[in-house]
Amino acid sequence: MIRKGFAMQLLPGKIGEYRKRHDAIWPELVKELRDAGVRDYVIYLDTRTNTLYASQKLSGDNAAKLPGTAIVKKWWAYMADLMETNPDNSPVCIDLEEMFYLE
């Protein structure tokens, strides 16, 4: 099992809409994530900076295929107006270095 952490940037004034969209996450996206081995996926918000911090556990190497799937690309397009994105609508992600873990 691989643990991964990354940060993303939410645009000003978009907290409520970001939460609303994730509260109604598409079942087909959840299935795609689970099928790819994504588990314990959590996103935290630092309201002082609008920085999103995500943590997830990955099993196998199937998660590397997620960016190429139609449902993930559709989700990225849906979320692009809420956060900093790359030209392909994927969120700008900064990998975080794990500094401590307690199981």
Identified catalytic residue from 2, 3, 19, 22: 22
Q: Is 12 helix (H, G, I), strand (E, B) or coil?
A: coil
> In sequence order, what are the beta bridge partners of 55?
5, 42
Distance CA 51, CA 45 (A): 6
Q: Is 31 a catalytic residue?
A: no
DSSP 29-88: HHHHHHHTTEEEEEEEEETTTTEEEEEEEE-SSGGGGGGGSHHHHHHHHHHTTTB-B-TT
Residue type, 44: Y
Give the active site residues.
Answer: 22
